[in-house]
Amino acid sequence: MLSYTSAVTIALDATPLTVSTGGVGRYTLELARALASEFPEDQYWLLSDQPFHTPNRPANLHVGEGPRNPAERKWWLWGLDREMRRRRVELFHGTDYSVPYRALRPSVMTVHDLSPWLDPAWHPGASRVRRRTPRLLRMGLATMVITPTETIRRAAMERFGLSPDRVVAVPLAAAESFKPVAPDGEPQGNPYFLFVGTCEPRKNIARLMNAWRAVRRTITVDLILVGRNHAHAEEPGLRVLGEVPDADLPGLYSGALACLYPSIYEGFGLPVLEAMQCGALVIASRDPAILEVSGDAVIHAVIHVDAQDTAELAEAMRAVAAFPEKFAHIKREALARAAQFSWQKTARLTREVYDRATRAFSHS
């Protein structure tokens, strides 16, 4: 049984919610909702200097106003602190690599992965994060740090010189809406593979598409791409859906021959867990964080391939397309493994980190 301090007022950075889709935005909103529901005695505020939309909020989850004057537009230096004073916020959670520049209250920073530092080409627009986050961590402005996996926890401690008692791994989860969807009537169109995620270099989309093309030479199977920034020339069998409503994703996951996620590097790989929770077959890379999410050596909930080996990926896809019935046991393992994650669990573990941050700050 976890113990918590008395009721508090907590603010979360809502800046990720200014982007229409993406894993960090989903993390921010689902975590805020789960915290407010699990701890109704607390008050939670979503704060940003930019407008954002938050549907279906519990009564104790509120939205701030943002800057009220020109001085407050210097958000991380002045505006955020003034907004938190107005709301009587006692702790701040930076959900996306940042915390306020002045340590006036305890704070928690989520470091999702180290991709901004591993290869600048992966995130050409992340130069501010690359400069700012290491400084904030060195200066101790983040009282505690959260990572989504033990893999990233160890990497963050090594890269930023963080003490082990300051960094906690708290896994993400898939929303309850992600569950198996039974087929509605006769299948429409060709069988398909599915990729869900933003198109960026580390997601390995080019190799994924080459593997699919190799399979399609002998087996009629389509490829559906879902997410931001997908722009590909038209070709037979390729369906680029772009951003789709969350309500449509469980059906897409459930109807796929397999969901493809041959990412070169991940901090967690939320689409993998979403697909697993829908009972879908997943073909993913052997990235350490994805391996951690999909289970240990005893669990076989995902087909893992070498992210750099197009032929191995194509062979796995070909086997699934030709004999889908042979992989039913992996789908069962996926459902069982996915059941070990929930946003309620994530909220409780996160709330415990808030308590640790409060105690650490009071003794600093």
| Crossing angle (nearest 10°) for helices 310-322 and 205-216 | 50
Contact 257, 192 (CB under 8 A): yes
Nearest to 64 by CA among 43, 87, 40: 87
| Domain extent for 62 | 9-173+342-362
Q: Answer yes or no: is 183 within a domain.
A: no
Q: Are residues 279 and 349 in the same domain?
A: no
- Residue 212 is predicted with a pLDDT of 98
Q: Answer yes or no: is 114 within a domain.
A: yes
- Residue 3 is predicted with a pLDDT of 45
Q: Answer yes or no: is 182 within a domain.
A: no
- Residue 235 is predicted with a pLDDT of 93
Nearest to 12 by CA among 22, 2, 4, 42: 42
- Residue 1 is predicted with a pLDDT of 34
- Residue 109 is predicted with a pLDDT of 98
Q: Are residues 114 and 206 in the same domain?
A: no
Q: Are residues 27 and 142 in the same domain?
A: yes
Q: Which residues lie closer than 8 Å to 363 by C-beta, 6 or more apart? A: none
Q: Could you list the pLDDT tens digit for every one of the 364 residues in the chain?
A: 344 557 899 999 999 999 877 789 999 999 999 999 999 999 999 999 999 988 889 999 999 998 999 989 999 999 999 999 999 999 999 999 999 999 999 999 999 999 999 998 888 888 889 999 999 999 999 999 999 999 999 999 999 999 999 999 999 999 999 999 998 766 678 999 999 998 889 999 999 999 999 999 999 999 999 998 787 778 999 999 999 999 999 999 999 999 999 999 999 999 999 999 999 999 999 999 999 999 875 678 999 999 999 999 999 999 999 999 999 999 999 999 999 999 999 999 999 999 999 999 998 7
Q: Are residues 202 and 287 in the same domain?
A: yes
Q: Answer yes or no: is 184 within a domain.
A: no
Q: Answer yes or no: is 168 within a domain.
A: yes
Q: Are residues 211 and 347 in the same domain?
A: no
- Residue 185 is predicted with a pLDDT of 66
Q: Answer yes or no: is 3 within a domain.
A: no
What's the total number of domains in the chain? 2
Q: Are residues 162 and 297 in the same domain?
A: no
Q: Is 30 left (phi over 0), alpha (psi -120 to 50) or beta?
A: alpha
Q: Are residues 231 and 315 in the same domain?
A: yes
Contact 102, 76 (CB under 8 A): no
Q: Are residues 106 and 199 in the same domain?
A: no
CATH of the domain at 105: 3.40.50.2000
The residue with tokens 């690359």 is 130
Q: Are residues 211 and 148 in the same domain?
A: no
Q: Answer yes or no: is 178 within a domain.
A: no
Please tell me the distance from the alpha carbon of residue 286 to that of residue 281, in angstroms, as a whole number: 15
Q: Are residues 105 and 209 in the same domain?
A: no
Q: Answer yes or no: is 258 within a domain.
A: yes
Q: Are residues 236 and 277 in the same domain?
A: yes
Q: Are residues 18 and 46 in the same domain?
A: yes
